[in-house]
Amino acid sequence: MDYQHFREAFFNQISFTSNQVQAWYRGFDKNNLGRWVKKGYIIKLRNGHYTFKEYLNTQNIQLHLANRIYRPSYISLHTALAFYGLIPESITQTTSISTLKTAQFNNPVGMFSYKNMKEQLFFGYEQLPFLDKRSIQMATPEKSLIDLLYLYPFYNNQNEIKELRLDEDILDETFNVERFLSYLDQTKSTALEKRAKLLLRVYNIH
């Protein structure tokens, strides 16, 4: 099979796996993928996962690919907070929550980090629109903060929480306190509740 026929079959999927290719074409030589990576036609995201070079400059492509290369997962933590404009930092690493073990992948698209969370806490994300009716699974602003406080317990005093430098104007406009408290109640964690309610007080959210 030549590259052009392969590209016509898989390009619109944005990303694909070697297993998908072999299921589509039983006689496919997996060595072709390595050759096409070397030629720069496709990009290796992790073992068995690829995308096409043409998608490199697509807006938010790293967010979509983060969902695809490690499942189940959703974007959260600093990446989601930056996406919503809640923190001022420019984020170079795409951080996600997964029920799978903690993992990290580096590739030409960027750095992808996955934090493990137990299944009963794997909630609070939405489907945001992406290219060609596809979507990105991303935590709501409220769940992004819950996840952050859960995974980073050093946010347990006023000074540390102020260091988050949350944008208070955006909090006033978009933050849903009832949803935040509902998520918090689902965690069944007294220690997390203390940190979360401290955050509400520090930023005068009510």
Q: Quick check: 59 and 52 in contact, CB under 8 A? A: no
pLDDT of residue 91: 85
User: pLDDT, tens digit, for every residue of 71-93?
Assistant: 999 999 999 999 999 999 888 89
pLDDT at residue number 26: 87
pTM of the model: 0.94
d(CA 145, CA 82): 11
- Tokens, residue 110: 């960027």
The predicted pLDDT at position 54 comes to: 97
Which of 198, 124, 188 shows the shortest CA–CA distance to 164? 198
Residues 15-49: tens digit of each pLDDT: 999 999 999 998 899 999 999 999 999 999 999 99
Q: What pLDDT shows up at residue 43?
A: 98
- Residues of the chain with confidence (pLDDT) below 70: none
Count Cα atoms within 13 angstroms, Cβ side, for 74: 21
What is d(CA 2, CA 120) in angstroms, rounded to the nearest whole number?
Answer: 46
Domain layout of the chain by residue ranges: 3-55, 61-202
